[in-house]
Amino acid sequence: MAFKTPSKTGMTRSRPLQSKTGLQTRKPLQAKAGFTAKPASPLDQIKAQKKALQAATIRALEKARREAAEQGVDLSEWENEFIEGVSERVKTYGRAFADPDKGAINGTLSLRQGQKLKEIRKKVQAKGAQKHDEPGEE
């Protein structure tokens, strides 16, 4: 052990330090552009999260429509209107429902709308898989 037993004056070293020079530090960090910017206020962070959630919802709706077109699956008239209406309401109002009891306060889709979107995507995947599994058609 490097220390002797405690004495009345405190702990003392049995051997001197190995290095004769003190600790050398590097140059201090220079402030970069990212460090000089002020951190976003909580209100700005909430707005950014809402915009990101809206963009993700619109991407999910467009992806459902795009996958249906790529798989050659014909969506019903109601499903097309649903995707168009919901995406337009999200773009216009930031959310697709007005009643806070029907979904999350900060959500863009109600619980039922989210469920219907999942059902549409499952339908597209199932019918697309059936078309690829059918022999004789290409």
pLDDT tens digits, 114-127: 999 999 999 999 98
Q: What digits encode the pLDDT tens for the residues 16-43?
A: 667 666 666 776 666 565 556 677 889 9
Cα–Cα distance measured from residue 79 to residue 89, given in angstroms and rounded to the nearest whole number: 15
pTM for the full predicted model: 0.64
